[in-house]
Amino acid sequence: MEREMELLWGLDRSEPRRGPKPGLSRGSVVAAAVALADAEGLEAVSMQRVAKELGYTTMSLYRYVDSKEDMLALMGDAVMDVEPPAPREDGDWRAGVEEWAHGVTNVYRLHPWSVYLPLSGPPSGPNGLRWMESGLRELVASGLETGPAVQILTMLSAAARETLRIELEMGRAARETGSTMADIGRDYSTGLRRVVTEERFPTIARLLREGALEEEPPPGSADGVAGPVDDMHFAVRRLLDGIEAYVERRRAAGAPERD
Positions 96 through 115 that interact with DNA (CB under 7 A): none
Count residues contacting a copy of itself (CB under 8 A)? 75
- The contact mask relative to a copy of itself for 171-210 (x = CB under 8 A, - = no) is --x----------x--xx--xx-xxx---xxxxx-xx--x
Distance CA 82, CA 104 (A): 10
Q: Which is nearer to a copy of itself, 38 or 215 (CB)?
A: 215
Binds DNA (CB under 7 A): choice among 1, 2, 16, 258: 16
Give residues 42-71 in contact with DNA (rule: CB under 7 A). 45-49, 56-60, 62-64, 67-69
> Residue 137 touches which of a copy of itself, DNA, none (CB < 5 to 8 A by kind)?
a copy of itself
In angstroms, how far is the first alpha carbon of the chain from the final one? 31
Site membership for a copy of itself, residue 119 (CB under 8 A): yes
Site for DNA in 17-36 (CB under 7 A): 17-24
Which residues between 138 and 157 bind a copy of itself (CB under 8 A)? 140, 145-152, 154-155, 157
Using the rule CB under 8 A, is 72 a contact of a copy of itself? no
Q: Does 246 bind a copy of itself (CB under 8 A)?
A: yes
Site residues, DNA (CB under 7 A): 16-24, 45-49, 56-60, 62-64, 67-69
